[in-house]
Structure 1
Amino acid sequence: MRDMPADPVAPTRDRPLRRLGFLTIGLFDAADPGPGHHVTLEMIELGERLGFDSAWLRDRHLQHGISSPVAVLAAASQRTSRIDLGTAVIPLAWENPLRLAEDLATVDVLSGGRLNPGVSVGPPMSWDDVRSSLYPDTADVEDFGYARVERLLGFLAGERASTFSGTRGIEVFSDRVQPQSPGLRQRMWYGGASLRSATWAGEHAMNYLTSSVVKWEGPDQPEGGYDFAEVQLAQVRAFRSAHPDGDRARVSQGLVVLPTDTATREQREKYEAYAASRLERTRTPQTPAKLLFAPDLVGTSEELVEQLRADPAFREVDEVAFALPFTFEPEDYVQILTDMATRLAPLLGWEPGLLNT
């Protein structure tokens, strides 16, 4: 594979699972969006009660999924006390880094330092459809590259955002983003899918989110077929090779994992049909971007443990944020999260976090 580190499929270390998280899109009914948002908050509360270490929200613009994860996590911060709250991920093309820094710092203060913002770069999805609304005067000169992340990181670290600080009249102004939230810069994540993004995130001392989607950067017809795990493992290693913390740099893997231990027959059939309907897309890269998808994993916790331990990328990490399917019902999410926390994760060496008493 082009540009891969040497020996990308060398034996990996078996790390006990240290941190368990889950990821949701927060689907809602366009005609009545309130209940869907409240279900998301209830799932985060449930996750905390079950001992999950983190809950993550996707970011969906002009769709029927959460468009403002930072706002929803602000609400979640007041309904929880221990669980980390993350975004996976905020596409920075939709954001002004200075304003976003203010929002992130505010929610981090409200949460007591539990916010874990994940971001990504690149042009907005459906760019031609939204450019005149998003950037009516500057669309042709906007930079959607890594510089946008660097600006955000700088503001969160306390770099100057204004040429003035002091008093004007009766008002006092700061030249830094307010509030400042110490430690937030170190909890910034980059959601990447390529070797370039993995290396860049490492060089800039971010944490790394790798999901069930990676970019295929090898030959069009590889000998032995398209190997998702090989690609993901190479990215994890490229990130850590570039990161100042090396092997201790944080990586979270986000696969779709559906335990069926306490599922009803109807739920098991639904989960299996869901995974089967998405299997074809895992065989070859999809779209002009050559995106390669991981198969969804469905089964009992004992079966899932075997599959996960056979995954070299999983064996290289000790944090996960398993993704919940978009279209399931609340009772399905309750069953899946409960089985994850009480059956699957303990078999992987995880111990639940405890609420303060």
Structure 2
Amino acid sequence: MNKTPYFHARRLLAVAALGLAMGAQAESEWPESFGYVGIQGSYYDIEKGRDHIGDIHNYWEPAAQVGYRFNPRFSMQLQYGQATTEARQVDLDVDTKLATLTGRVHAPEWSFTGFQPYAGLGYGYHEMKPDHMKKKEEHMVVGELGLQRLLGSHFMLDAGVRGLVETDDGFIDAQPYLGIDWLFGKQYRRQVVKEEPAPVVDTPVWVDSDGDGVPDHLDQCPNTPAGALVDEVGCPQILKESVNITLYVEFDHDSTTVKTDFYPEIERVAKVLTEYPGSEVLLEGHTDSTGSARYNQTLSHSRADAVMRVLVSHFGIGPERVRTSGMGKSQPIADNSTAEGRSRNRRVEAAIQASREEIRRR
């Protein structure tokens, strides 16, 4: 029998085992919604008693999948897998294909040490093609029970068992599975923290200790700075200001030299850091696909360090406010098969978010 599906299934299970090791890290927050793509290894346990084509040995099946979780309670997944096995009654190799489309209902409130349970229901199409013979097609009702767990912020482990009921003759197959998915397009729920107001002190005598025009027995914010505008309970009116700025610097091939053409862009970041003294900036270096991954990892980090040196030496930003990271060639923004695309991928990106609050004056 062709052992290729066994080989691929073992590789998929090895990837999932690595994911379990990653799961030992601190649990991440589940996004409100997200898309995902992934791979899965499964063992297809087929019920005996079909005709000589459909009566086949159990087999390992690798598969690819794509899905979207619309909210914490509902998702859909499309999966396709194929493998090779043997017929039980005759000496034939049989190629199999299985495609499923399922809707899943999740129960986030029943999380077990980070694992969230779900149940799924959908449609399956099963095709068996013996060598030199006509293929056999089966339409199936698919049911799923499984558990999912986040592995860091970008990956998800998916384990469970799938039941497949053949609609024509009622045969029931089982398919335990283990997979790992990469998440994209994550959306998180915004949390609003409400501050409890200070207790009101019942002072019958009109006393205004901080001179803000609100008596102490009504003043929920004592010791207001002189000249500050206050509300009806004596609390300063706060003017909030925020700014977001993004930096983009390109590099020549195999170079870490920052071109002076990009100094004005770097200066914009320096001005924001100066104006908002509590802010920090993260510089991420990137490369094109030329060269080995290890070399590009070092090169991308050197590029981020080069931009940091410009911020520190030319614009007087303290080095403790700048962090650098090398992303190598893992995050291209353009096609590496063209010179223009490779040029765009040789870059340093930075994102800075800053905010401040000021008390409004009279």
Q: TM-score band, normalised by the shorter chain?
A: under 0.3
Higher helix share: 1
Greater Rg over alpha carbons, structure? 2
Higher strand share: 2
TM-score using structure 1 length: 0.23
TM-score using structure 2 length: 0.23
